[in-house]
Structure 1
């Protein structure tokens, strides 16, 4: 009898465990490069939700421009992290039908943190104006860094000699080799690429970004002293807001993304303690101008209170619009 009882208990346990697995929600989040803060946030969220009924797949990407279109169009990519200036750009372009649809269908899950604009270059370049005539890497087409760099040059009136659309790893190698003069990287500090691969012996420095035209468009920020090797002084810069977004799902994904949002909100202390340092500056209640919270998340919060897929070869209309409207 005892043996039979144990067999029944064991079978029930197995069925419950299997049932939990069977009913776990599969969600995907598209982030950024593996050395960037977006990707680290994705891994933190994957670890958080692993035992809470959500299987979260974390995809890397070129960045924000790719991410917003992937959430709109790509299967199994229900969420993404996007820069606020990319969201603002998309929402303001009312002459492109696809961008109008994207602006209508992309919804904010939560605002996250400020992303500082890192401008690393030769030590003899004293400020942003010093980029006139220089060779500057602005990251790959499809990244948020690419759009931010283009906009900064546009609103400041500074004309670099050449804007190179190369990835941040390659840009850093070429900067160290002296074949380019500076590189942009928009990411929440501390950025893994710079903490791991930049030393005082490289002879590089973070270049201040300020100026009336720039700070009228982007909020002021700073890179505190000693954030990176060979950086003894605080460096003034500007920032954008990182935003977690989703598609305007109406059925099962609405429920799953809402549940995910609730788990995130309920476990902020765990994320601040165990995740990337930037979690400590996340304000989930930050009022992001022009964007309301996804109702599937908002309702879930209020109810109690609160392996990379193949890259699509099809054209990205968001990138096309950026390039067309910001032609040199």
Structure 2
């Protein structure tokens, strides 16, 4: 049976509970006060005291960045001026196939001759040395080309351009390439190759033009095969062809360092009247290919020069002035091209060398005469390009019998010298 508390007892119990609650609240308040005081004197906690998500930090205002003002559009006259400036002294050079040796020569010329708006040479990868003549004749923007001397034969006789010698002239004779005809042992002479398969190289290479031309001039009908290089050599060893034509400056890369090759040999190419127009007589010697040519012997052959050609524009025209500027700049930098790291072939250049069957560009003779006069008075050749204009002027003064008596006179003479040089370059 449950007992119930009497009224006085209940009142006493309520009073005790109230007192306990008051004491507990006071103790709790005192504890929180102590925690608050302790928090003020301690480092901030590394973890938040509350599990409520913290307020995102207020985003500070980014400093204002002034937007770049858009360039004002150029006017039509400004565009025309830029176009004229960039094209005035820019020359296009037809070089050759991308894997051909002429491309390197053209690239080195472009690097060395670059003079900002005063001269810019742009080498062009083309369809080959023979087609470079067509580019020089007909392609817009081409004023200079590298080709072989016998390329004239095709255009003069087959294309019917009897006036090609007047339209195209040469500036320099580049390196000379030897004609190598490599055959199986049973073919001793060129006449033995009549009716045989002969590899003449792929379209665009020198052998593809010179090889058939040689046999045609000698009246020997062959069956040309359009392969060259290592592929032709492999076919030769397999017996698929009788011989191959290879045109390169000696020692040719294909045969350089090649060991003895029993059953194969170089076929002689005698220098006869049929080759007197564009070719030189030469020979393949054992020191060039020790493994392929017997000691104390030599194989007679012919060589064809490569040519730096220009279009023979009418004197006084803009295109003629551009070609003249090209010639000046090239000759000024020739000595630099003859130093490493440029192609060793530059060292073999002979400025006086003639090219059979070709006429020289008239302005080249003017430049050569000027170089001779400068050498006579003690100036370095124009081809050195190693001295500044001021240094050349000082050398000029040193060569005179009587120097200017005053600094003012010397400065006036130097201004006249610069003006004379500037007019000469135009």
TM-score normalised per structure 2: 0.55
Tell me the residue number matched to 1:152: 214
Moved more, 147-156 or 68-77: 147-156
> Partners in 2 of 1:186 and 1:142 — Cα distance?
12
- Contact 1:108/1:246 (8 A) holds in 2: yes
Change (3 A) 1:300 1:175: same
CA distance in 2, matches of 1:263, 1:190: 31
**How far off is 1:221 after superposition?**
0.9
Counterparts of 2:254 and 2:95, CA distance in 1: 16
Deviations 1:63-121 (A, max 9, x none): 3321111111112322112222222553467x93xx24544322222222322112233
> 1:31 aligns to what SS in structure 2?
strand
> Would the aligned equivalents of 1:121 and 1:182 in 2 still touch at CA under 8 Å?
yes
Aligned to 2:150: 85
Q: How many residues align?
A: 281
The answer to which structure, 1 or 2, has the higher relative contact order (CA under 8 A, 6+ apart) is: 1
Counterparts of 2:368 and 2:318, CA distance in 1 = 17
The question of 1:280 aligning with 2:344 is answered no
Alignment-derived partner of residue 180 in structure 1:
241
Provide structure 1 residue ranges, at least 5 long, that are not aligned to the other structure.
1-17, 307-328
For residues 276 and 363 of structure 2, the distance between their equivalents in structure 1, rounded to whole angstroms, comes to: 34
Native 8 Å contact 1:38 1:81 kept in 2: yes
CA distance in 2, matches of 1:24, 1:191: 40
2:182 to 96, 120, 134: 120
Change (3 A) 1:221 1:55: same
Say which is worse superposed, 207-216 or 99-108, in terms of deviation.
207-216
Counterparts of 2:88 and 2:249, CA distance in 1: 31
- Could you tell me which of 43, 51, 63 is aligned with 2:128? 63
Computed over aligned residues only, the root mean square deviation of the Cα atoms, in angstroms, reads 3.6
C-alpha distance in 1, partners of 2:143/2:224?
33
Distance 1:237 1:276, change over 3 A: farther
For the Cα contact (< 8 Å) 1:37–1:192, is it kept in 2? no
Unpaired segments ≥5 residues, structure 2: 1-81, 374-381, 383-426
| Residue in structure 1 matched with residue 292 of structure 2 by the alignment | 231
**Aligned residue for 1:323?**
none
Residue number in structure 2 paired with 1:109? 171
CA–CA distance in structure 1, aligned partners of residues 318 and 254 of structure 2: 38
- Secondary structure of 1:256 counterpart: helix
Q: How many Å separate the matches in 1 of 2:187 and 2:247?
A: 19
SS of the counterpart of 1:78? Answer: strand
Q: C-alpha separation between the residues in 1 aligned to 2:337 and 2:102? A: 14
Residue 244 of structure 1: CA displacement? 1.1
Larger Rg: 2
